[in-house]
Amino acid sequence: MSIRTRQPFAGNGKFVVWKTLRLNGRTFVPGGDFPWRRVACSWRRLRQLYDAGFLTYAGKSVIEEPIEEPIEEPVKGSPMFDPSIHELHNPDRGQFFIMEGENIFLRISRKEFKRLDGRDEPMEIRSEHIVEED
């Protein structure tokens, strides 16, 4: 994944219209050249149009910078399945449990059971898949 940022304004180079704009009685459409000197656009106004996103530089105007994907951390208080201390149990093929030793730690849905089965690292237990006692 990457984040898209524009080149910083330098005031030199060739400008291209990015969004439709009207200036001094003329309409400029996206993709067209913007001859700022010919249309008597001041340097200050040129910068304002660039900063507002109406103009961009010709050529590669967007710089792509890689960003790190955030690591999803469990919500504080979310139950965790840790295979080193928990065991999945399905005694009658209709109920699914996470056992901690001889005791039932949680009753979970079939979908969550399948997701956790075979995992060897700790994982968050999705709250929507915790089955409440009847």
Residues in the chain, overall count: 134
Cα dihedral sign for 43, 49, 51, 57? negative
pLDDT at 59: 73
pLDDT at 42: 85
What is the identity of the amino acid at 68? E
5 band by pLDDT with thresholds 50, 70 and 90: low
Q: Which residues contact 84 (CB under 8 A, 6 or more apart)?
A: 122
pLDDT at 41: 84
How is residue 115 written in tokens?
């997701």
Please state the rounded mean pLDDT for residues 56-61. 72
How is residue 28 written in tokens?
């400029």
pLDDT at 78: 66
| Single pTM value for the model | 0.43
Residue with tokens 């840790």: 82
Residue 15 or 71, more confident: 15
Average pLDDT, the chain: 77
Q: Is the pLDDT of residue 70 over 80?
A: no
